[in-house]
Structure 1
Amino acid sequence: MHALPRMTIAIIATALAIPAAGGDHWPENRGPNHNDHLNSETVYPTRWSVATNENIRWVMPLPETGQSGIAVWNDKLFLTCFRKLSAEDISPKGTWVSETRGYCLDADSGEILWSCDLPGKRPNQVNGTFTDSTTPTPVTDGNHVWFVNAGGYMACHTLDGQRVWGREFEVRTKHSAKQFQPFLHDGNLYYAMMRDASDPERRPQTAKDYDKNSKTGWPWMYVRCFDALTGQPTAVIPDGISVHSKGALGSVHGETVLLHAKGGSHSPPEKPYGLGLSRLDAAHDLNWERPGLYFEGTHFIDDKHAYCFDKNDFFVLDLATGETIKQIRVRDTGSIVAFDETSGRYKPSAPAPKVKSPHLQTHRTNIGVGKYHFFMSGQPGVLGRINIETAEVNYLQVPIQVVVENGKRTFSWTEFQSGDTTGSGFQVEGDKRRLGHGFGHISAATPIVVNDHIYFCTVLGTVYVIDATADQFDEHALVAVNDLGLPGETWTLSPFTAANGHLYQRTSKEIICIGDQR
């Protein structure tokens, strides 16, 4: 482990920003604009440390672990956790649980105001490497809040905790914990699931239970919508969706559209594999479909384009037609600014080495800002940036973990400590990949952009703040490297939330309010 020299620390550390009072809401996973971006006159923090209590307003223990993001409306926070875990939840395959709980917290203190049961039907692996039953972020409109348990339950509550309705839904196989994030549109709650068993258009099930590799034996998944105030089903988007597709919202000619995908690992049954764009009108018509185009990284679209990666290239698509505007080679090209641990300094830019990983990017981590598209690469400790105008590909090496030694923060570039002990102190068992460095074949929290600063967060709780407007993608673009807690005691797959001048984030143990101290 090596400490950064003072010069380098000065480069990546910005002056402590004291957030002003603000009224920004973050009503669902994708944020107030449905694109993970927030532009605000409020100043948001870029530099902090939970480990040393720097620029932290409060930290509160959570009752149990979970992966949902945090929805914010005025003085209330909403998130989802597992119900209290016990040794009885451990099986030979790890810790598997179906039941979750929804929580409402006071935004000023982190105090729990109320909670509700969300009784799932299908157990999912706790702290799963990609998702688990708690992955869906709650949705609020300022009058109600909707919780979804990916194990098979959804519910609507008033903001003071009164249940309006709750309903079970059927889930399938090991991969029922879906990437898709719920959202509200035109009085409906949208979420991805199978058609009901009584639906004549539902495909029959011939697969064995928990078969994750069936090519045809599982009923298809669809994006379905329900009346937000009654829970009654109202429509089904006719084109299927893979459990791996998060879905992205945008607008074409003034109409709201949803980008969705079919395909991915474990041979999902929905066909043909590729991308599609559907209108969220009464008929949910399909605008276009691109069979054969790999779906990875489809959670970001802007006013004119949709973006995705295949195993070698980056594609820019016309949002209205699906036609390819640009295809940019990413694998085995570009340059990298790497860190020299011997000298303790960054090296000059050099040709990037060949990418050994089959994954160009870490799942769910791509996001666009202007003419640039950013991502966590599949290589440990490497961030990527694509200049869409010039097709230039640049990489920047970043520390794997923040280390606290004798009360001082230093950085580790290769070694790391991991651990996902829960808020109740429970030791989760299962897929060991969850305890890796957070790059490669694992999901990471979808980054957010606040006032042209990108917040990347790894499973270790290492947070990279990037200046999205920097001319050069080098150490000068790295605004700060922050932590969400001590090494070996911090674990998260949750996305950041920005509201009211503060950043909110959660780990498997606690919820954190980042910003001005009291």
Structure 2
Amino acid sequence: MNKFVKYTGCFVALLFVACNTAQNSVTTVADGENQWPMSGGPNGSWKVKTDEHVPIKWSVRTGENIKWKTTLPEGGQSGIAVWKDKLFLTINPPNDHPKHAEIVKEYQKIKSIYQSNFECQVLVLEKKKDQQFKKYKQKLKPVAEAWKQELDKNAYYQHGSTLEKPEIEKNMLRKHKIGKEYEKVLKKYNAYVHQQSKDLKKDYVELERLRKLKNGGASSKDVVLLCLNSETGKLLWKKTVKGTIESQYNYGFSDATTPCPATDGKHVWAINASGGMACFTLDGNLVWERTWQPTIGRPFNKQFDSMLFEDLIFNVEPPVAGDTEREKGWNYLHAFDKKTGKRVWVTQQALTHYNTPILGETVDGEPAILIGRGGPHGVPERPVGLSLISLVKENQGTEIWNWEPVEQNNESGWGALSTQHWDSEKASWFYKGNDHATINTKTGELIAKKPLSLVNQYNFDKVKQSYSLEENVKIKGLQNQRHCNLSDEDNLFYMVRYNSYLAKHNVITGLNEHLEVPNDIDANGKYIYGHPQTNDGLNSKGQLNAADARTRGNGFQKCFLGSPTMINNYIYFTNAVGMVYVIDANTEKLDESALVAVNDLGESGKTWSVNSLSYANGKIYHRTMKEVICIE
């Protein structure tokens, strides 16, 4: 019997009556209490307090506590905005690509024919004692062995799932000297064999065509904004939001649909990360639209998310043409009049594509936004670090303070990959690998830098069927899930990358705790530990429009997940295969008593999600690549 059976009822009744804290916040969308008007909820923090009953336990697989589900014609990554009887989300434009199963069947057929013909030609060449073929074969053997050894010792490759490894190897081949040599020799070897037969050449051309189709993929400049009835899931209307550059569908780190729509109960705004914005009435009538040109050649990863403040809506863009005060290839926070779409101001401080700014209030109760700079793959914005940007009328868009780490970007800059959670006292900043910094949000000064690598781990013993504590475990090569973090008072919560753990770091004491969580749930509701799921990457029509193999990982793979959502004292983490872990942030230790529930968003191995859940009017709304879900 699962020890958490006491939580398997329909709801957990909250034992206190609390007004929604967002009502008292100057950053709250007007009349937004009990709604979810933008990415982080009523005040943009991903935290709400409510006296409504809150769904804790559910299952899409069994239908437990599921009010409705609506199938999506294509995938997407945005959060869900909710206002009374309407909800909004974005998807990629549907297309008529073949079902993946049909492509795979044809590919396997041609592959079998090609391999048989190739082996036949090799035998002919060996029988003829072809000297040129012998030279190619002799040269191929040592470089093939050297490349295998390179793969065997590469931790990133070895950590990858079966689905991820081909893409990882492909990237490694481009960078490694041995890989380049291996590819060069292999290409000459294969080309020589192909020359021996016209039929073999034709088979190879067809095999390559089908291989590309089998690998999947789709792209578009535009996204589609959907409006559904929040009580029934019925589609009310859909509108196209234009963009300017092509974006591949369902990339594991973001796509054009990443930003959550935003609404104030009168209008709804959608941001297309491929270069577009639009405003509609709640009935779907266009009010205004604009396009813009994202930076090209820069990492296109899960960056900003939707934020409304008074009459402003924010976006992250390069400077406008002719702006001589800002760097042309950098990104900045832009504020627009939400009623007209006209630009109001632009920050002097830049932020990276990777960064997710967060609204909040200073110790004096003044509104502000925290933004960050830094990260891998040559992001140019400098200086690395944080800037707190004022939203007070007379100072809007100007910095309150700037903080710069003393370490180089390759170590410190990874903090810009986090969702930039903060409160009136402190902000959070991750270093690559082992450390976390806490910044004083009153002054912008460093409070403390503490290691994350010495951990008390609560591990599940599959033989004893119980948890045990292992203290002072040294974690090597630690990488934190940069977009799945949330702070609550003195504690930082996050998901650990590559291993099925949730983590808690006390920024005052430095205590680190890891709780192993189940990878799946069986048909009887029993938790399954130590057997990671994979994901087929298919949409509801059976198409593989997600080309990046890293999308099809085990849930804790390298990808950018949306922020956790905190409702009262419960934090909801969603991993990439649609498992939702609910923990109680008030427990003294992050041990098994903190794990309130483990929920699913769909069938094992066939569910994918990287967005945050939304809460409104006593219901949770979530989405996967295949459907929208209402939980009550």
Instruction: Check whether TM > 0.5.
Output: yes
Task: Measure the CA separation in 2 of the matches of 1:393 and 1:358.
Answer: 13
Structure 1 residue aligned with 2:486? 367
Structure 2 residue aligned with 1:73? 83
CA displacement at 1:248 relative to structure 2: 1.4
Amino acid at match of 1:340: D
Within a 5 Å distance, the mapping from 1:8-407 to structure 2 comes to: 8-10=3-5, 13-17=7-11, 24-87=34-97, 94-173=217-296, 175-176=299-300, 178-201=302-325, 203-204=327-328, 219-252=329-362, 253-281=364-392, 282-292=395-405, 293-294=412-413, 295=415, 296-311=417-432, 312-331=434-453, 333-347=454-468, 349-359=469-479, 361-404=480-523
TM-score, scaled relative to structure 1: 0.89
Task: Measure the CA separation in 2 of the matches of 1:192 and 1:436.
Answer: 29
Task: Measure the CA separation in 2 of the matches of 1:513 and 1:283.
Answer: 38
Is the strand fraction higher in 1 or 2? Answer: 1
| CA offset digits 1:211-256 (Å, max 9, x no partner) | xxxxxxxx11111111111111111111111001001111122321
Count the aligned residue pairs.
489
Task: Measure the CA separation in 2 of the matches of 1:423 and 1:120.
Answer: 24
CA displacement at 1:143 relative to structure 2: 0.7
Match of 2:606 among 489, 494, 497: 489
Q: Unaligned regions of 5+ residues in structure 2, if any?
A: 15-19, 21-32, 100-211, 406-411
Structure 2 residue aligned with 1:478? 595
Task: Measure the CA separation in 2 of the matches of 1:233 and 1:44.
Answer: 39
- Whichever of the two has the greater Rg, that structure is 2
* Structure 1 SS opposite 2:610: coil
Amino acid at match of 1:376: M
* Structure 1 SS opposite 2:482: coil
Q: Name the CA shift for 1:203/1:7 in 2 (closer, same or farther; >3 Å).
A: closer
Contact 2:460 / 2:529 at 8 angstroms: preserved in 1?
A: no
Contact 1:377 / 1:439 at 8 angstroms: preserved in 2?
A: yes
Task: Measure the CA separation in 1 of the matches of 2:419 and 2:449.
Answer: 15
Q: Unaligned regions of 5+ residues in structure 1, if any?
A: 1-5, 205-218
Q: Name the CA shift for 1:51/1:290 in 2 (closer, same or farther; >3 Å).
A: same
CA displacement at 1:275 relative to structure 2: 1.4
Contact 1:19 / 1:501 at 8 angstroms: preserved in 2?
A: no
CA displacement at 1:9 relative to structure 2: 4.7
CA displacement at 1:428 relative to structure 2: 2.0
Structure 2 residue aligned with 1:214? none
CA displacement at 1:454 relative to structure 2: 0.4
* Structure 1 SS opposite 2:522: strand
Amino acid at match of 2:255: D
Structure 2 residue aligned with 1:212? none
When the two chains are superposed, the root-mean-square deviation of aligned CA atoms in Å is: 2.2
Amino acid at match of 2:43: N
Task: Measure the CA separation in 2 of the matches of 1:81 and 1:366.
Answer: 25
* Structure 2 SS opposite 1:365: strand
TM-score, scaled relative to structure 2: 0.74
* Structure 1 SS opposite 2:218: strand
Task: Measure the CA separation in 2 of the matches of 1:149 and 1:462.
Answer: 27
Contact 2:438 / 2:447 at 8 angstroms: preserved in 1?
A: yes
* Structure 2 SS opposite 1:476: helix
Contact 1:58 / 1:514 at 8 angstroms: preserved in 2?
A: yes
Contact 1:84 / 1:424 at 8 angstroms: preserved in 2?
A: no
Q: Name the CA shift for 1:66/1:158 in 2 (closer, same or farther; >3 Å).
A: same
Task: Measure the CA separation in 1 of the matches of 2:370 and 2:519.
Answer: 33
Task: Measure the CA separation in 2 of the matches of 1:178 and 1:368.
Answer: 20
CA displacement at 1:160 relative to structure 2: 1.0
* Structure 2 SS opposite 1:25: coil
Structure 2 residue aligned with 1:208? none
Is the helix fraction higher in 1 or 2? Answer: 2
CA displacement at 1:25 relative to structure 2: 0.6
| CA offset digits 1:158-182 (Å, max 9, x no partner) | 1111110011111123634541012
| CA offset digits 1:53-74 (Å, max 9, x no partner) | 1111111101210000000111
| CA offset digits 1:67-125 (Å, max 9, x no partner) | 00000111110110011134399888943222210011100011111111112211112
Contact 2:389 / 2:396 at 8 angstroms: preserved in 1?
A: no
Task: Measure the CA separation in 2 of the matches of 1:448 and 1:469.
Answer: 15
Amino acid at match of 2:335: C
Match of 1:505 among 619, 622, 626: 622
Task: Measure the CA separation in 1 of the matches of 2:248 and 2:555.
Answer: 18
Task: Measure the CA separation in 2 of the matches of 1:302 and 1:419.
Answer: 39
* Structure 2 SS opposite 1:434: helix
Task: Measure the CA separation in 1 of the matches of 2:324 and 2:253.
Answer: 32
